[in-house]
Structure 1
């Protein structure tokens, strides 16, 4: 009976303290000061990675649409200048990434372009502790979508 209660308690705490997909994407946005945003489109199964940048008065958002099923692992690359990166590593065949730019009203500028890539690099100004937390958040985000990805720094 004690074994059953222990297992039930472990399952309860795991489920109770797990963040939802929305909480995870909100955390990513908040902790990147809004510069990195993520949106999962359940209708077509695409993950939208938004990089918001400002130059003077011009606010531009760069959008990359990926198929999350193509991501094999997520790793961190540490920089020397305060900029660290999250790397979404695609499976060996790579993945087609659609990319485009939108303005401050989310109106598309130009046209959608496609390119085959073997990974996506997300640069974030942060210390090592925070970039490691970003990696965990992205791994958890994929889990909420139903996709198991590996920690690329563990192998």
Structure 2
């Protein structure tokens, strides 16, 4: 399944959300600190939204340490971009775990240091609030609101 994970991240680096989504099982469960838990079509639409938002901008993804068998896998990946709300440069370092079913990704969990991300993306405000449960809850609400708006326009 290493090739599937590699295909996913190569597509992300090229902002090719349709190829990314094709790596997902219809019953995908995605989870990360920014969005919380997304299931099915919502997970795919999140990647569509993120790829669309980065078109024509400085954006890059690297990946390494892919390790998988037919049931589970993991990888490290890094995203380099400018946060849209502040224009601040972000270098996010993520650990991903995967579960597979029918040759596709059925569960994808990304973990990263939300406090570190918030400090980079939002500066002093992120430094103060980024490590709190309040911040995570508020961020989840905002990202899911943006996703809902994006989905209405599909």
Normalising by structure 2, report the TM-score: 0.29
Normalising by structure 1, report the TM-score: 0.28
Find the structure with the greater CA-based Rg: 1
Higher strand share: 1
Higher helix share: 2
